């Protein structure tokens, strides 16, 4: 579908590290030094240049780590992308509403992507893996935030969903918006 700003929002099922896009967003952690899930896959396929860039960022600007909800760009190394934008999703909590932080990940990643002049941005379903966010709610926050804030120079936002369940949840939310 297209947003009021003319940005196309698409869904694909697959591995985000196989995507071709100007920006590939990483569901990182505040250390910026790698982990499992999407983060592990991005560093594995993207190669050591990404970790080297993350280490530099830690040393120069983020000594205490990147805060939850924020985003920062590095090289994409060997990935078929120009940049990786690393963002730190919130860990799911049943007792505290952290949705604003999850929305912030999408908003800040798009802000950084736009600053770089990126046209195509690929997102994973942030926080819905190791950080435990329920997929239906994670999809709702992702889609709503992107529809609200995506704007040129970004022309396409692609959600790259790893499995059928994630794809179905995003599809349901996107169709309900349309
Ligand atoms: N491509 C697309 N989606 C994927 C891929 C992939 N290659 N691999 C997993 N997913 P997660 P989080 C899906 O755990 O919940 C790391 O250790 C996965 O099925 O990658 O934000 C970081 O360093 C899920 O739906 O990220 C942090 O410590 C979604 O991507 C922590 O995990 C996000 O799962 C971040 O946890």
Q: Is the pLDDT of residue 15 over 90?
A: yes
Q: Is the pLDDT of residue 153 over 80?
A: yes
How confident is the model at residue 91, as a pLDDT?
98
What's the whole-model pTM score?
0.98
Q: Are 85 and 25 in contact (CB under 8 A)?
A: yes
Q: Is the pLDDT of residue 178 over 80?
A: no
User: Is residue 39 annotated as part of the catalytic site, yes or no?
Assistant: yes
Mean pLDDT, residues 40-65 taken together: 97
> Which pLDDT tens digit goes with each residue over 74-130?
999 999 999 999 999 999 999 999 999 999 999 999 999 999 999 999 999 999 999
The model's confidence at residue 36, banded by pLDDT at 50, 70 and 90, is: very high
Instruction: Tell whether ligand 1 has an atom less than 6 A from the beta carbon of residue 65.
Output: no
Instruction: Tell whether ligand 1 has an atom less than 6 A from the beta carbon of residue 28.
Output: yes
Helix residue spans in the chain (DSSP H): 37-46, 48-60, 99-116, 135-149, 164-177
How confident is the model at residue 114, as a pLDDT?
98
If one residue of 11, 30, 38 were mutated to test the ligand 1 pocket, choosing by the most ligand atoms within 8 A of its CB, it would be 38
Q: Are 173 and 140 in contact (CB under 8 A)?
A: yes
Distance 85 CA to ligand 1 centre (A): 14
How confident is the model at residue 83, as a pLDDT?
99
Task: Tell me the β-bridge partners of 122.
Answer: 24, 158
How confident is the model at residue 4, as a pLDDT?
87
Instruction: Tell whether ligand 1 has an atom less than 6 A from the beta carbon of residue 74.
Output: no
Q: Would you state the structure tokens that stand for residue 121, as one six-digit string?
A: 């941005």
If one counts every other C-beta atom within 10 angstroms of the C-beta of residue 166, the result is 21
Q: CA-CA distance, 127 to 90, in Å (whole number)?
A: 6
Q: Among residues 39, 97, 136, 137, which one is catalytic?
A: 39
Q: CA-CA distance, 130 to 134, in Å (whole number)?
A: 11
């Amino acid at each position: 579908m297209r947003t009021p700003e003319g940005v196309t929002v698409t869904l694909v099922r697959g591995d985000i590290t196989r995507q071709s896009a100007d920006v590939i967003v990483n569901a990182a952690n505040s250390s910026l030094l790698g982990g499992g899930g999407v983060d592990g896959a991005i560093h594995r396929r993207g190669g050591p240049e990404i970790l080297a860039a993350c280490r530099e960022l830690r040393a120069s600007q983020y000594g205490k780590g990147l805060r939850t909800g924020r985003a920062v760009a590095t090289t994409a190394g060997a990935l078929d992308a120009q940049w990786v934008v690393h963002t730190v999703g919130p860990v799911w909590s049943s007792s505290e509403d952290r949705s604003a932080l999850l929305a912030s990940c999408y908003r800040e990643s798009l802000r950084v992507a736009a600053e770089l002049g990126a046209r195509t941005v690929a997102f994973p379903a942030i926080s819905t893996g190791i950080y435990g966010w329920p997929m239906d709610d994670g999809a709702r926050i992702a889609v709503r935030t992107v529809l609200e804030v995506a704007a040129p120079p970004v022309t396409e936002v692609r959600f790259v969903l790893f499995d059928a369940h994630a794809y179905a949840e995003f599809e349901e939310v996107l169709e309900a918006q349309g």
